[in-house]
Structure 1
Amino acid sequence: MGFNPLEHGGIPLERQIRSWRELNVAPIDADHCDPYTRCRIITMNGIEVEAILFNHHLARHCSDLDLKRQLAQVRYTEAQQQKAVNWLLPGVSSVLETTIAYEQVAVDLTAWVARMEPDPYLAQAYRFGVLEDFDHLYRYANLFEMIEHRKAESIVDGLTEVMPGRPTTRHHRHPVDNVRESYDRRAANPLSKLHALTIMAAEQQTMNFYMNTGPTYVEPIARQLYQEIGLIEEEHVTHYESLVDPGESWWEMLVNHEYNECYLYHSFMEQESDPKVKAIWELHLNMELEHLRLACDLLRAKDGREPQEILAPELPNVLTFEPNKTYLRDLIADELDLTTLGTGYVREAHERFQQMQEAFLGGESAPSDQVIDMHRDMLGREYRMETEGPHPVAAMRER
């Protein structure tokens, strides 16, 4: 039997407030932690930020003061959760080091979701996006070695390869071509809803991180690269958020958010290797079970529906951070030349794409290309970390 969050009681809401001492969590060891522990932390920080922002937006559309008070109480505990999770990251890590970890999350989380997604159209959306995050990891890894004289291998630990994906300059598309078709809330597999919320929240947090940390650098190339990739992360949020059916009611969206938090905390608790971090995942799961119960009560009261009408009868198989090297190499070989047109995908650069390229690049070299050129000039090579033979496109050309 799987785990059904609807059948388990959580910690009562009035007992969820934690003291400063309880929130003062010990950070992970930056040099000796499991890289996927850091990935799970970054993921859950994004999930909690999305929960807080969604709750705020819901409260802004709510006139019932008693309900606004309940939302505020849940939101405060979510904010405490977010602080506990995000503060697990060590203060000794530089912004660039954390950035590379963010991109490792984007690569291996999105690749896993693409592999597991039951809907072919949604799976294509994840496959398309992951090839761009893969290239971002490569660009930041080159910047990291130039500025900090360290290799990204010290962060990703060989679990994720560092090599070119779809070139970052080709990610600048006309905004209208970043909008996808949504799943149908009445027919979608419940797992598809969880996937869409998870990747949307993770990309949103990456967008926010780059927006706020990019200008903290002195080096012009670093400021420019964060600005360029930050704009692409905005495209990615548009890409992923449009997959969610806008016809879901506020209360249905609330239930889906809380159920997804239960799913992820349960998943990460099952696979966490760090005992103190695992204890936090378990504590937060027990908090989220109560948040889900309250959301289900609101669904019944406001929509007249039972949560079983929209949720899976039990949690899916745990979401897993694991290497996706072969899968990504196959994607590079098969789908590297794709771009978007309307809500679909094409292999040929179309007029609107070309116009956007000209408008954004203005005939100049983009920061994402400059950083590779500067790395070659400085060190006589570019930085890559390939663990399974030559780049698949290069291998195809050699054949």
Structure 2
Amino acid sequence: MFNPLEHKGIPLESQIRNWRELNVEPIDPEAVDPYTRCRIITMNGIEVEAINFQHQFARNCPDQEVRRQLAYVRYLESQQQRVVNWLLPGAASVLETTLGYEQVAVDLTAWVARHEPDPYLKQGYEFGVLEDFDHLYRYANLYEMVERRKADKIVQGLTEVMPGRPTVVEHRHPFDEVRTPYDRNTVDPRSKLHALTILSAEQQVMFYYMNVGPQYMEPIARQLYQEISLIEQEHVTHYESLLDPGENWWERLLTHEYNECWLYYSFMQQESDPRIRAVWELHLQMELAHLQQAAELLRRHDGREPEEIVGNAGLPEPLTFEPNKEYLRHLLATQVDLNKIGEGYVREAHERFESMQQQLHDGQKPPSEQVIDMHRERFGDEYRIETEGPHPVESLRARGGSHA
């Protein structure tokens, strides 16, 4: 297996790109492979997290030389983020990009859940993916109402569109979003990468929705983005609490760089667009040098070898964007009614949950319910893509029919 610690990559001093190199051609929204879009959205979130993390590190680091090194690599990461995010086309609407974000949230989280070795962490991903699955369904109905276009244009049958855990019941007391963290000394190194990847992706969804939501004129669109952006904030709390708070800055830096190597390597293996694959290949070579710098900082300031943090077996199995329909249907059939209490999961409502529901909803239907009602009123049914048959949960099957 490829071991990024054994490769030097492009020297740091050779990585700054000029304007011509930064001015990348965006993907064609009418012809792009949906999973190419997903890979772009994912790596944008990963790069944004890398930048934000290094800013926080710099604010908590008294060593001026380290701060200078962080500033330099952070600039390189910023150029990478601009290249990746600028691959998304201006011709795509905010809602079309949103549908791409939710396809990422569904199929990325489902893949991680399927491959997570720790049962508690696995349960955390399985719980979260059913909520993003529902968001995709709500936004798909909004998309048809606002733009008169169908979500299958974006997901192209790779991801089903139907209710998950209804968004209305996703609003829980913040206390119940905090999970039990993994133990950095005993956890499988894969689990560290999984947690950081999903946290980064969900964080980017939160940032995106909380900024683009006010751009809409339609009241229901503004309200739906407001509601789901609050859920995404809950998800960030959920996933960030899985990380061991005992990890120090040096090992976190190493894990961030190692994770970027894993993801660029993974996406390089499966990318169907040669032009985009070249971006992943270039960025991997850059990240290898970032990793070497992080490893040296770890040795110098923490007295440990990088293998003590990420293991010595090389990168884990490449992360793959692929359909997860059967797996998601199984989760719907067995876990859609799960709730949280404390750091665990239950199947019944409880006082703290019901109190939060009452305070927030105050006897009114939230936007996530209103959008489906409005779609039914306008089109006579709701928008779904159910390629594998009726919804596995009878109570969530379409009332009065649906169309794709």
Which residues in structure 2 correspond to 1:1-399 (within 5 Å)?
A: 2-313=1-312, 314-394=314-394
Provide the secondary structure at the position in 2 that maps to 1:310: helix
| Matched AA of 1:254 | L
Superposed CA offset, 1:21-73 (max 9, x none): 00000111101110000000000000000000000000001122111111000
Provide the secondary structure at the position in 2 that maps to 1:340: strand
Which ranges in structure 1 are unaligned for 5 or more consecutive residues?
A: none
Q: How far apart in 2 are the matches of 1:297 and 1:272?
A: 31
Superposed CA offset, 1:167-214 (max 9, x none): 000000000000000000000000000000000000000000000000
Q: How far apart in 1 are the matches of 2:289 and 2:18?
A: 19
Superposed displacement of residue 310, structure 1: 1.2
Residue 395 and residue 235 in structure 1: after superposition, are their counterparts in 2 closer, same or farther (change >3 A)?
closer
| Matched AA of 1:56 | H
Superposed displacement of residue 395, structure 1: 8.8
Normalising by structure 2, report the TM-score: 0.97
| Matched AA of 1:295 | A
Q: How far apart in 1 are the matches of 2:203 and 2:243?
A: 14
| Matched AA of 2:188 | N
Q: How far apart in 2 are the matches of 1:356 and 1:312?
A: 42
Q: How far apart in 1 are the matches of 2:395 and 2:169?
A: 22
Q: How far apart in 2 are the matches of 1:69 and 1:291?
A: 14
Deviation >6 Å, runs of 4+: none
Superposed CA offset, 1:126-145 (max 9, x none): 00000000000000000000
| Matched AA of 1:322 | E
Q: How far apart in 1 are the matches of 2:199 and 2:191?
A: 12
Superposed CA offset, 1:224-270 (max 9, x none): 00000000000000000000000001000000000000000000000
Superposed CA offset, 1:306-345 (max 9, x none): 0111113200010000000000000000000001000000
| 8 Å Cα contact 2:206-2:229 kept in structure 1 | yes
Superposed CA offset, 1:368-389 (max 9, x none): 0000000000000010010000
| 8 Å Cα contact 2:163-2:396 kept in structure 1 | no
Q: How far apart in 2 are the matches of 1:395 and 1:273?
A: 39
- Percent of aligned pairs with the same residue? 71
Q: How far apart in 2 are the matches of 1:396 and 1:244?
A: 34
Provide the secondary structure at the position in 1 that maps to 2:383: coil
Provide the secondary structure at the position in 1 that maps to 2:393: helix
Superposed displacement of residue 394, structure 1: 2.0
| Matched AA of 2:384 | R
Q: How far apart in 2 are the matches of 1:92 and 1:192?
A: 37
Q: How far apart in 1 are the matches of 2:2 and 2:287?
A: 14
| 8 Å Cα contact 2:178-2:342 kept in structure 1 | yes
Superposed displacement of residue 275, structure 1: 0.5
Provide the secondary structure at the position in 2 that maps to 1:323: coil
Q: How far apart in 1 are the matches of 2:13 and 2:181?
A: 37
Q: How far apart in 2 are the matches of 1:321 and 1:312?
A: 25
Residue 395 and residue 347 in structure 1: after superposition, are their counterparts in 2 closer, same or farther (change >3 A)?
closer
| Matched AA of 1:362 | D
Q: How far apart in 1 are the matches of 2:126 and 2:222?
A: 28
Provide the secondary structure at the position in 2 that maps to 1:392: coil
Superposed displacement of residue 396, structure 1: 10
Provide the secondary structure at the position in 1 that maps to 2:320: coil
Q: How far apart in 2 are the matches of 1:312 and 1:171?
A: 36
Residue 210 and residue 395 in structure 1: after superposition, are their counterparts in 2 closer, same or farther (change >3 A)?
closer
Q: How far apart in 1 are the matches of 2:68 and 2:305?
A: 23
Superposed displacement of residue 119, structure 1: 0.1
| 8 Å Cα contact 2:251-2:298 kept in structure 1 | yes
Q: How far apart in 1 are the matches of 2:310 and 2:236?
A: 24
Normalising by structure 1, report the TM-score: 0.98
Report how many aligned residue pairs link the two structures: 397
